[in-house]
């Protein structure tokens, strides 16, 4: 009731340390909306000092957790611009990468579809941004605690991007647009050599060359494939990759891939 | 079967007869590029062999293929073999007719053309946050 | 004035908010370096560049470099008052870009720039009496609160637009298309008398076009003066023009690399020898030639018209110089914005393949096909040259997704049957895979319906689609005005549709259905008799259909060009209880008729017939006391068309102005009553005093609509208002057709694809109706959510 | 509903109700000429020559009145617009806007559609018609058999009074993109034509061939916005002996030695209306409506009257040792030339008076925007 209200300090009147404690406490109990409001008031009321800097990072984290990726991204960017040499700057870069890490593909699509086929079949814009942000982290702070995890995530993202290209190459192979499938496969070989998808790319490239009557090129590519990925399915089965048969696709909700 | 419509699949380069005739050995890769354009197939493992492949399959029928292969020896053209579809502009025009796209674009009545001229819009749009400090700097309008 | 010295240490005084490390990171000097004069200048400039400080001073204590700084205050609060024309969030976004936002450092110069920019923006809108006063109040802890007070004032009104030197055309003719105008009775709405420099320059462009399109090749605007009244509330515009003479085209030459034979290109030139000079026609010709070249791979073709004027003979010698540039290939097609739709769902609609030569026709067709999916608000495809190559282009298709699923509530209202409620969940783009899936449940006063359907449009890569439909519905026409009987049906069918060209496809379907009909004493006697003739209550039938459709419409929601042609034959195969077939044909087309108007014509014909079955006994009407009434059919006659498969006419999407399904033949109930209602539509002797509509086996419908370009609906491209004329009716069968029985109505209709479902509001006035229909007239029809 | 607050414009200072006139002014006659300037925003002014007053209006009417009695001697009218513009193309252009100039037996009048007409002073019959390049919104000046006319696009024409042929044209003056409505009146004196340009320059041309003699800047026209850069010299110039006085918007009141063009003194005064000289004072009105008087010799300020602030008063006209101004709702005020106190007030009509009153002898003629003309005289008691 209102009687208590007047006595209890609001976030507009609290001193800085109690306000920070209040905000941090909401963050701990994952009440992100309240945490966000409290941090914003703290930043506005106390525009200087370590607490302000710490609050800006935690504000970005709260917004990220509160499923507001765009706000979080602009907050963290402003922090990095204002405090480039802050002691937690490496965490800021790491958080910036995290924000876009798993944004590709809608939430339901990712939840329902098997594996991560959801995020390798949609607009790769966020994956690319996340990859760049993580690479900035590993370049500026190679031995930061977050760099190792960032490298793992970069590998995962690179494989996502490569798998996306492979999916498109498979589509063009299926619809007999062989030069398109060859170009896409070649794009994977040139840009994502270390990714496991290079094997599929080599296989698709070989099949495309065969279809285009470029036998010498096909043999050459097949030799490279056999050398590097001896147990790739294509080596044993010439019409890999297989696609669900027409009957299986006729069953509703059977998924298309 | 022929009844089911599968869109035509055209891939690769279309070359002009007069350009191909101007090819002679000894030309550098740059000169060939200017003359014939970018080849459609360059294997990642053999940079000295350029294939100007051209394939065409009409409504799912089997694909007709023609390839002009150029082999280079450290940047000079050594051998040319194979043939190519002589690019027949007239035929291409007939092909493009199948999409019934009228070249004069959509008439004024179309509501969903997105390229409408939007006006000055909000304050933010007009301002480019250029950082130069001179107040009288010319503000570049979008 | 420094003599250089080696800096042993750096100390910074005056820092409260900014961290020491941050300042050091911007300084171009480190410990141990010698500090020379220009290094000192560079340091000062670097620190100012950061915009953190209002004052920077370098000082020396022994070998320690001391930097005295005064921090700029931070902005605690930023309020804007009085801005009506420019919206708050645009304003805040603009201020943020200049660095004026809560939490940022405050710098007087950027505030001054904001003030200038705001004034310039308002001057552009003709508000010359604007005043922008920023008030800065100091707060504690080196913070400031900024309050920007804007008093916009009114836009200056144009009092006079005066064109001097126009002899050939009157002022009124020239200023017809102008956006700016002097104050007139419509100005309160169109605001055309509000001066804006942009509008004026656009109008002057129209003025010179007006002359150039009518032969005045060397027309020129000699000078334009814009004058403002001293109190800055009125504007006076005058332009003096030099008309020059009318020129005729003496020759049209096509030069440059033509690629296509000359006479093909000549067909696209809309201006010929002897015509009067017309810049509009020249521009149309250059666009047409560019369009056709873009269709065969020359994406960057340039066509420049070069007119040579012969002053004394007053002739213009026109040369169209064609530079096709290089033939261009598409290297990669990239989709952006499809966060929910799968890449393949978009890619399979593309008619422009990677690795193929660039074809503008294919790209336009792809854009139409993407738009016709109905998943996107906007689709834009633009091309960009691949860096480092001359003939490779990457296509980027930016799409803006719109919820293809819809939770639809059908709320129908009519004077008699009250509210009809229906709810359906449908997802046109199920999990982004492009499949269509929907479950619909509907309850209303007279029918209950549950329906589940699933369609996969791409069973194979060449767009062969397969669909399943499972339905259960129970209709009780009891307390509506329709023929009074109960009818419940359970059905299942699968449909396969095969494309035979890019625009046409053929579909066939096969299914089973069982219907249960029970009549009551209120059912029209003819229907009761018919039902007894068949002898059994439940009707089983093998349903199948064969359809053809041709669709060239250019958009899913609001087409403005192209049309649709569908023809189908469906029915119950031999072995069903009642063997019948129904032929149905519909054709419609959209024509943009200029200035935003779109004409739409649509025609439908439905014809049903039974086949291969005859009555095996004589049929009489049964009187209430059980005695035999009039005879209605003889042994050996062909069976009539089943009434529950009848076509209906009238309703929100049919002949507007009449209640749903109420046009066509009407029958009286009660055995002893007369079978047909009298001319006034009244029945005697039955329970109901009016004839109940029963539909019929032959239907004819035609509609003409003109979609109106209403200014306030300009950017909502899923809403349209149209003026319509509907004509149509339903007849017992083909032989009963007679044109005088056709009903017609006219009026206005609003169709809007609202976020949660389609909404239709019709204001209709039937102008051809019989008095028997007056009961079923429905002047206002309102359907929110599409009823199945 | 017309709220000054909404328009963000200063409200006009209200006149004090209990004003006791200390000077008796009697109205000699009152008449009207068509719709006057109507919406054209032109400051139209009658002209008096040999006791006859000529006036014109933008709706095609021109008339001559007996200056002392106001009786109409002759009047001509040409319909400008048919119903809904029907037949407009065939109508003869007579949208008179360059308030008539008269001398001897010739009256010259310019129109909004770029024509100049020579009319017989006796009966109003037209003698000749000449074409000019833009609208004429200031009065032509007739000197002997030469008519000098200035157009809105900055060009000045010398036209033969007998035949209407063009003798010379001066077209170097550039007009800024945005300028104030109105053009400065021409002043012709001993063979030289003086006028204020829209770019804030005072230009002197030779009367016989239109060549430029000299040019003097009255306003620099700098500033950040296009409004700050307005620098029109729209007020009429005044010649007193051999000294010329000119002023401009956002500019300087400058005294210049006529023959040589050498500036004598200048004093900051931003005005768009005309000046007048009487006795040892130069009278002007600044851009917020304060009537000011400066000492003719050194430019020191003698007095300043701000009772008419924001009432948009017209240029001052000296009548006897009084100064006459009109204001935005038809009031005419007489101020004492020596101390600027308001001594008399009359009301011509409810409409604004924009043109500088015309003083001939002991009578002052005032015209408002709707074409009402009033003649007032101060009885010599």
pLDDT at D65 over 80: yes
Helices then strands, counting H and E runs in chain C, come out as: 12, 37
Q: Which of D116, D93, D206, D100 is nearest to D163 (CA)?
A: D116
pLDDT at A117 over 80: no
Do the beta carbons of residue C301 and residue C290 sit within 8 Å? yes
Chain B residues touching C198 at Cβ < 8 A = 119-120
A209:B41 CB<8 A: yes
Q: Which of D192, D100, D189, D170 is nearest to D138 (CA)?
A: D100
State the Cα–Cα distance between residues D119 and D75, nearest whole angstrom.
12
Nearest C-alpha in D relative to C82: D6
Nearest to B4 among C292, C499, C552 (CB): C499
C89:B122 CB<8 A: yes
Q: What is the pTM of this model?
A: 0.73
Nearest to C143 among A47, A106, A183 (CB): A47
pLDDT-derived band at A185 (thresholds 50, 70, 90) equals: very high
Q: Tell me the per-residue pLDDT of D303-347, one tens digit each, with 9 for 90 and over.
A: 999 999 999 999 999 988 899 999 998 999 999 988 889 999 999
Tell me how far apart the 2 most distant CA atoms of chain A are, in Å.
88
Chain B residues touching A178 at Cβ < 8 A = 11, 55
State the Cα–Cα distance between residues B86 and B80, nearest whole angstrom.
16
pLDDT-derived band at C104 (thresholds 50, 70, 90) equals: confident
Q: How many CA atoms lie within 13 A of D234 on its CB side?
A: 32
Q: Tell me the per-residue pLDDT of D281-292, one tens digit each, with 9 for 90 and over.
A: 999 999 899 999
pLDDT-derived band at C2 (thresholds 50, 70, 90) equals: low
Chain center to CA of A164 = 13
D34: Cβ contacts below 8 Å, ≥ 6 apart? D56, D57, D58, D59, D60, D61, D77, D371
Query: Judged by CB atoms within 8 Å, which residues 396-415 of C form the interface with A?
Result: none
DSSP H or E stretch at residue D267: strand D263-268
A178:B55 CB<8 A: yes
C97:B127 CB<8 A: yes
The position carrying tokens 């109940």 is C692
DSSP 3-state assignment of C445? coil
pLDDT at C605 over 90: yes
- C414-428, C582-596, C645-659 — which is least confidently predicted? C414-428
How high is the pLDDT of residue A255?
A: 63
Mean pLDDT of C490-511: 90
Closest CA of chain B from C173, distance in Å? 22
Mean pLDDT of D72-100: 76
Closest CA of chain C from B51, distance in Å? 13
Do the beta carbons of residue C441 and residue C435 sit within 8 Å? no
B60:C462 CB<8 A: yes
Q: Angle at CA D244, nearest 5°, toward D238 and D247? A: 70
pLDDT higher at D300 or C98: D300
B109:C463 CB<8 A: no
State the Cα–Cα distance between residues C437 and C443, nearest whole angstrom.
20
A256:C17 CB<8 A: no
| Residue environment code for C153-175, b if the CB has 16+ CB neighbours within 10 A, otherwise e | bbbbbbbbbbbbbbebbbbeebb
The two tokens of residue C85 are 């024309």
Nearest C-alpha in A relative to B51: A214
| Percent of chain B at pLDDT exceeding 70 | 61
Residue-averaged pLDDT of chain A: 85
The two tokens of residue B45 are 């493992």
pLDDT-derived band at B36 (thresholds 50, 70, 90) equals: confident
Chain B residues touching C284 at Cβ < 8 A = 104
pLDDT at C586 over 90: yes
State the Cα–Cα distance between residues C254 and C233, nearest whole angstrom.
53
Q: Which of D2, D3, D5, D8 to mutate to test the interface with C (most CBs of C within 10 A)?
A: D8
Do the beta carbons of residue C722 and residue C705 sit within 8 Å? yes
**Long-range contacts formed by C761-766: CB under 8 A, 24+ apart:** C762/C652, C762/C656, C762/C657, C764/C656, C764/C657, C764/C726, C765/C657, C766/C657, C766/C658
pLDDT at B110 over 80: no
A and D interact (at least 3 Cβ pairs within 8 A): no
The two tokens of residue C504 are 């046409």
Cis check: omega of the bond before B133, within 30 degrees of 0: no
pLDDT-derived band at C37 (thresholds 50, 70, 90) equals: confident
Residue-averaged pLDDT of chain C: 83
State the Cα–Cα distance between residues D204 and D215, nearest whole angstrom.
6
Q: Angle at CA A177, nearest 5°, toward A175 and A178? A: 120
Nearest C-alpha in D relative to C152: D8
Mean pLDDT of C23-37: 81
B41:A189 CB<8 A: no
Nearest C-alpha in B relative to A223: B45
Nearest C-alpha in B relative to A184: B41
Chain C residues touching D41 at Cβ < 8 A = 159-160, 227, 229, 234, 236
State the Cα–Cα distance between residues D380 and D320, nearest whole angstrom.
10
C-beta atoms surrounding C688 within 10 Å: 18
Do the beta carbons of residue C386 and residue C395 sit within 8 Å? no
Chain center to CA of A177 = 30
For the CA atoms of C291, C293, C295, C300, the dihedral, rounded to the nearest 10 degrees, stands at -80
C128:D135 CB<8 A: no
State the Cα–Cα distance between residues C451 and A233, nearest whole angstrom.
44
According to DSSP, the residues that pair with D294 across neighbouring strands are D282, D301
Chain C residues touching D228 at Cβ < 8 A = none
Chain C residues touching D329 at Cβ < 8 A = none
Prediction ipTM score? 0.73
State the Cα–Cα distance between residues C183 and C178, nearest whole angstrom.
13
C-beta atoms surrounding C109 within 10 Å: 14
C344:A167 CB<8 A: yes
Query: Judged by CB atoms within 8 Å, which residues 104-143 of A form the interface with C?
Result: 104-106, 108-109, 112-113, 118, 121-123, 125
| Percent of chain D at pLDDT exceeding 70 | 96
pLDDT higher at C23 or A222: A222
Q: How many Cβ pairs closer than 8 A exist between chain B and C?
A: 199
Q: Tell me the per-residue pLDDT of C527-557, one tens digit each, with 9 for 90 and over.
A: 777 777 777 678 888 999 999 999 888 777 7
Q: How far is CA C309 from CA C220, C244, C249, C273, C275, in A?
A: 14, 12, 9, 14, 14
According to DSSP, the residues that pair with D352 across neighbouring strands are none
State the Cα–Cα distance between residues D234 and D180, nearest whole angstrom.
8
The two tokens of residue C289 are 């030639």
Q: Tell me the per-residue pLDDT of C697-722, one tens digit each, with 9 for 90 and over.
A: 999 999 999 988 776 665 566 778 89
| Angle, helix A50-65 to helix A89-101, in steps of 10 degrees | 10
Mean pLDDT of D232-248: 90
State the Cα–Cα distance between residues C291 and D230, nearest whole angstrom.
48
Mean pLDDT of C74-86: 84
- C83-87, C284-288, D297-301 — which is least confidently predicted? C83-87
Nearest to C240 among D134, D178, D312 (CB): D134
According to DSSP, the residues that pair with C658 across neighbouring strands are C777
pLDDT at B79 over 90: no
Q: How many CA atoms lie within 13 A of C525 on its CB side?
A: 27
pLDDT higher at C588 or D177: C588
State the Cα–Cα distance between residues D373 and D351, nearest whole angstrom.
12
pLDDT-derived band at D174 (thresholds 50, 70, 90) equals: confident
Q: Tell me the per-residue pLDDT of C463-475, one tens digit each, with 9 for 90 and over.
A: 888 999 999 988 7
pLDDT-derived band at B107 (thresholds 50, 70, 90) equals: very low
Q: Tell me the per-residue pLDDT of A22-77, one tens digit each, with 9 for 90 and over.
A: 888 888 898 899 899 888 888 877 777 778 888 889 999 999 888 888 889 988 98
Closest CA of chain C from A1, distance in Å? 30
Q: Does D315 touch chain C (CB under 8 A)?
A: no
How high is the pLDDT of residue C690?
A: 76
Q: Tell me the per-residue pLDDT of D42-63, one tens digit each, with 9 for 90 and over.
A: 889 999 999 999 999 988 889 9
SS3 annotation, C152-171? CCCCCEEEEEEEECCCCCCH
Nearest to C462 among B6, B33, B102 (CB): B6
The position carrying tokens 């149309």 is C284
Closest CA of chain B from C87, distance in Å? 6
The two tokens of residue B30 are 């740059």
Q: Does D3 touch chain C (CB under 8 A)?
A: no
């Amino acid at each position: 009731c209102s009687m208590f209200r007047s006595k209890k300090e609001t976030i507009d009147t609290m001193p800085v340390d109690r306000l920070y404690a209040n905000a941090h406490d909401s963050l701990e109990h994952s009440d992100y909306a309240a945490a966000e409001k409290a941090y914003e008031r703290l930043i506005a009321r106390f525009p200087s000092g370590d607490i302000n800097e710490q609050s800006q990072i935690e504000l970005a984290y709260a917004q990220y957790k509160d499923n507001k990726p765009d706000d979080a991204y602009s907050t963290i960017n402003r922090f990095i611009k204002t405090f480039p040499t802050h002691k937690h700057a490496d965490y800021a870069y790491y958080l910036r990468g995290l924000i876009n890490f798993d944004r590709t593909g809608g939430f339901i699509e990712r939840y329902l579809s098997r594996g991560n086929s959801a995020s390798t079949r949609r607009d790769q814009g966020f994956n690319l941004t996340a990859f760049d942000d993580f690479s900035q982290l590993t370049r500026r702070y190679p031995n930061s605690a977050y760099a190792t995890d960032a490298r793992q995530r970069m590998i995962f993202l690179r494989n996502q991007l490569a798998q996306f290209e492979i999916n498109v190459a498979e589509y063009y192979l299926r619809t007999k647009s062989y030069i398109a499938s060859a170009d896409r496969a070649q794009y994977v070989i040139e840009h994502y050599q270390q990714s496991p998808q290079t094997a599929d790319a080599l296989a698709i490239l070989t099949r495309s060359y065969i279809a285009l009557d470029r036998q010498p090129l096909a043999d050459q590519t097949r030799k490279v494939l056999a050398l590097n990925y001896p147990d790739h399915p294509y080596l044993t089965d010439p019409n890999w990759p297989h696609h669900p048969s027409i009957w299986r696709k006729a069953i509703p909700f059977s998924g298309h891939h | 079967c022929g009844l089911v419509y599968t869109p035509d699949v055209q891939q690769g380069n279309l070359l002009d007869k007069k350009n191909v005739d101007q090819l002679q050995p000894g030309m550098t890769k740059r000169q060939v590029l200017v003359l014939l354009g970018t080849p459609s197939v360059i294997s990642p493992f053999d940079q000295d062999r350029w294939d100007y492949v051209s394939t065409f399959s009409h409504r799912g029928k089997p694909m007709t293929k023609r390839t002009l292969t150029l082999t280079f020896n450290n940047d000079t053209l050594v051998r040319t073999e194979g043939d190519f579809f002589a690019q027949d502009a007239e035929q291409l025009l007939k092909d493009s007719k199948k999409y019934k796209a009228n070249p004069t674009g959509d008439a004024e009545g179309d509501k969903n053309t997105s390229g409408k001229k939007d006006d000055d819009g909000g304050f933010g749009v007009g301002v480019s946050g250029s950082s130069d400090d001179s107040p009288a700097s010319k503000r570049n309008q979008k | 004035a420094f003599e250089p010295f080696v800096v042993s240490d750096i100390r910074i005084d005056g820092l409260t908010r900014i961290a020491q490390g941050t300042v050091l990171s911007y300084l171009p000097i480190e410990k141990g370096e010698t500090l020379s004069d220009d290094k000192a200048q560079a340091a000062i400039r670097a620190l100012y560049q950061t915009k953190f400080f209002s004052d920077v001073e370098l000082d020396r204590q022994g070998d320690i470099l001391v930097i005295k700084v005064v921090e700029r205050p931070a902005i605690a609060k930023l309020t804007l008052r009085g801005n009506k024309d420019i919206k708050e969030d645009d304003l805040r976004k603009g201020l943020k870009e200049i660095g004026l936002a809560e939490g940022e450092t405050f710098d007087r110069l950027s505030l001054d720039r904001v003030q200038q920019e705001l004034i310039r923006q308002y001057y552009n809108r003709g508000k010359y009496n604007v005043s922008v006063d920023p008030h800065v109040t100091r707060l504690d802890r080196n913070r400031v609160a900024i309050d920007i007070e804007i008093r916009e004032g009114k836009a200056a009104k144009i009092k006079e637009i005066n064109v001097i030197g126009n002899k050939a055309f009157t002022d009124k003719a020239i200023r017809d298309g102008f956006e700016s105008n002097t104050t007139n009775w419509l100005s309160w709405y169109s605001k055309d008398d509000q001066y804006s420099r942009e509008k004026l320059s656009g109008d002057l462009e129209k003025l010179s076009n007006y002359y150039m399109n009518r032969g005045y090749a060397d027309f020129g605007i000699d000078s334009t003066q814009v004058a403002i009244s001293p109190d800055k509330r009125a504007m006076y515009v005058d332009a003096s023009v030099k008309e020059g003479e009318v020129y005729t085209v003496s020759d049209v030459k096509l030069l440059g690399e033509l690629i296509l034979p000359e006479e093909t290109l000549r067909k696209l030139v809309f201006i010929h020898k002897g015509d009067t000079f017309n810049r509009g026609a020249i521009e149309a010709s250059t666009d047409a030639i560019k369009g056709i070249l873009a269709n065969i791979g020359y994406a960057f073709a340039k066509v420049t018209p070069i007119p040579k004027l012969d002053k004394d003979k007053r002739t213009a010698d026109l040369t169209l110089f064609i530079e096709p540039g290089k033939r261009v290939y598409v290297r990669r097609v990239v989709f952006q914005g499809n966060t929910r739709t799968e890449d393949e769902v978009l890619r399979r609609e593309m008619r422009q393949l990677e690795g193929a030569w660039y074809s503008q026709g294919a790209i336009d067709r792809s854009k139409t096909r993407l738009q016709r999916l109905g998943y996107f608000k906007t689709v834009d495809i633009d091309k960009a040259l691949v860096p480092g190559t001359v003939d490779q282009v990457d296509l980027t298709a930016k799409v803006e997704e719109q919820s293809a699923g819809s939770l639809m509530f059908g709320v129908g209202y009519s004077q008699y049957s009250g509210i009809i409620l229906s709810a359906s969940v449908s997802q046109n783009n199920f999990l982004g895979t492009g499949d269509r899936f929907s479950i619909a449940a509907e309850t209303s006063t007279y029918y209950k319906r549950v329906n589940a359907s699933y369609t996969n449009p791409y069973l194979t890569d060449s767009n062969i689609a397969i669909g399943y439909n499972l339905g259960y519905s129970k209709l009780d026409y009891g307390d509506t005005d329709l023929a009074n009987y109960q009818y419940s049906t359970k059905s299942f069918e699968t449909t396969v549709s095969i494309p035979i060209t890019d625009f046409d496809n053929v579909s066939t379907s096969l299914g089973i259905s069982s219907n249960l009909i029970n009549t009551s004493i209120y059912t029209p006697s003819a229907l009761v008799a018919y039902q007894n003739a068949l002898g059994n209550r439940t009707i089983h039938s093998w349903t199948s259909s064969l359809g053809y459709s041709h669709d060239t419409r250019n958009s899913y929601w609001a087409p403005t060009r192209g049309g649709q042609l569908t023809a189908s034959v469906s029915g119950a195969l031999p072995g069903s209880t009642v063997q019948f077939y129904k032929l149905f044909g519909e054709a419609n087309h959209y024509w943009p008729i200029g200035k935003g108007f779109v004409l739409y014509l649509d025609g439908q014909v439905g014809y049903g017939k039974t086949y291969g079955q005859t009555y095996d006994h004589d049929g009489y009407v049964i009187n209430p006391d059980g005695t035999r009434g009039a005879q209605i059919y003889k042994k050996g006659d062909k069976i009539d068309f089943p009434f529950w498969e009848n076509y209906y006419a009238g309703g929100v999407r049919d002949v507007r102005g009449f209640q749903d399904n109420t046009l066509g033949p009407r029958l009286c109930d009660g055995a002893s009553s007369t079978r047909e209602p009298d001319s006034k539509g009244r029945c005697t002797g039955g329970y109901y005093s009016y004839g109940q509509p029963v539909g019929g086996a032959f239907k004819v419908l035609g509609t003409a609509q003109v979609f109106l370009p209403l200014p306030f609906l300009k950017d909502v491209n899923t809403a349209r208002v149209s003026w319509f004329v509907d004509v149509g009716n339903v007849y017992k069968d083909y032989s009963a057709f007679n044109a005088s029985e056709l009903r017609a109505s006219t009026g206005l209709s609003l169709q809007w694809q609202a976020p949660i479902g389609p909404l239709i509001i019709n204001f209709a006035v039937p102008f051809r109706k019989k008095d028997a229909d007056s009961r079923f007239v429905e002047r206002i029809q309102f359907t929110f959510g599409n009823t199945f | 509903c017309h709220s000054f607050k909404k328009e963000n414009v200063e409200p006009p200072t209200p006149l004090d109700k209990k004003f006791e006139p200390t000077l008796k002014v009697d109205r000699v006659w009152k008449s009207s000429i068509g719709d006057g300037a109507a919406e054209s925003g032109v400051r139209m002014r009658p002209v008096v020559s040999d006791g006859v007053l000529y006036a014109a209006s933008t709706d095609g009417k021109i008339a001559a009145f007996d200056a002392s009695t106001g009786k109409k001697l002759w009047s001509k009218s040409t319909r400008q617009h048919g119903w809904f513009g029907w037949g407009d193309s065939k109508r003869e252009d007579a949208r008179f806007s360059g308030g008539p100039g008269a001398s001897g037996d010739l009256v010259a009048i310019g129109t909004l559609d770029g024509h100049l007409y020579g009319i017989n002073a006796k009966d109003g019959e037209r003698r000749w018609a000449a074409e000019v390049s833009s609208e004429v919104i200031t009065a032509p000046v007739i000197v002997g058999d030469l008519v000098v006319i200035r157009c809105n696009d900055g060009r000045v024409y010398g036209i033969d009074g007998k035949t209407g042929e063009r003798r010379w044209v001066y077209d170097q003056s550039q007009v800024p993109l945005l300028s104030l409505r109105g053009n400065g009146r021409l002043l012709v004196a001993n063979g030289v034509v003086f006028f204020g340009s829209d770019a804030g320059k005072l230009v002197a041309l030779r009367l016989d061939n239109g060549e430029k003699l000299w040019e003097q800047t009255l306003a620099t026209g700098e500033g950040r916005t296009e409004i700050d850069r307005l620098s029109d010299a729209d007020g009429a110039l005044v010649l007193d002996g051999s000294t010329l006085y000119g002023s401009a918007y956002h500019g300087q009141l400058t005294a210049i030695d006529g023959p040589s063009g050498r500036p004598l003194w200048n004093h900051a005064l931003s005005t768009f209306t005309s000046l007048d000289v009487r006795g040892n004072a130069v009278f002007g009105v600044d851009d917020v409506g304060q009537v000011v008087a400066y000492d003719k010799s050194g430019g020191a300020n003698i007095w300043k009257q701000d009772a008419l602030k924001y009432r948009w008063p017209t240029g001052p006209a000296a009548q006897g040792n009084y100064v006459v101004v009109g204001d935005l709702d038809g009031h005419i005020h007489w101020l004492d030339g020596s101390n600027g106190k308001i001594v008399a007030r009359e009301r011509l009509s409810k409409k604004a008076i924009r043109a500088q009153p015309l003083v001939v002898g002991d009578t002052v003629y005032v015209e408002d925007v709707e074409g009402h003309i009033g003649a007032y005289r101060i009885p010599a008691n």
